[in-house]
Amino acid sequence: MSTTRCSQCSRVIRGAGHRTATRTLCDDCFATYQGLAAGMLASGGNVRRSVATAGWFKRLIGRRKS
């Protein structure tokens, strides 16, 4: 049984992890990764605000689907 490590924080990932185009991420880093793409645009590149925006981004997606 192989061990998968997060490409971002190097923690061992339980389960399959989350594959992006180039990396495999743990749950926490994947959530941040998703939020960063939108958060960077919304905050003008401020990383701390980008992370905070991750939650907002998830709600936005949920609204679009419903």
Judged by CB under 5 A, the number of residues near Zn ion is 5
Strands (E) across 1-66 are located at: 4-5, 12-13, 18-19, 24-25
Stretch that binds Zn ion, among 22-30, 38-46, 50-58 (CB under 5 A): 22-30
By C-alpha distance, which of 33, 41, 34, 39 is closest to 53? 39
Find the binder of Zn ion among 2, 3, 4, 8 (CB under 5 A): 8
Q: Does 6 bind Zn ion (CB under 5 A)?
A: yes
Instruction: Give me 65's structure tokens.
Output: 């689907």
Nearer to Zn ion, 8 or 43 (CB): 8
Contact in structure between 18 and 26 (CB atoms under 8 Å): yes
**Which CB atom, from 36 or from 44, has the smaller least distance to Zn ion?**
36
Binding residues (CB under 5 A) for Zn ion: these are: 6, 8-9, 26, 29
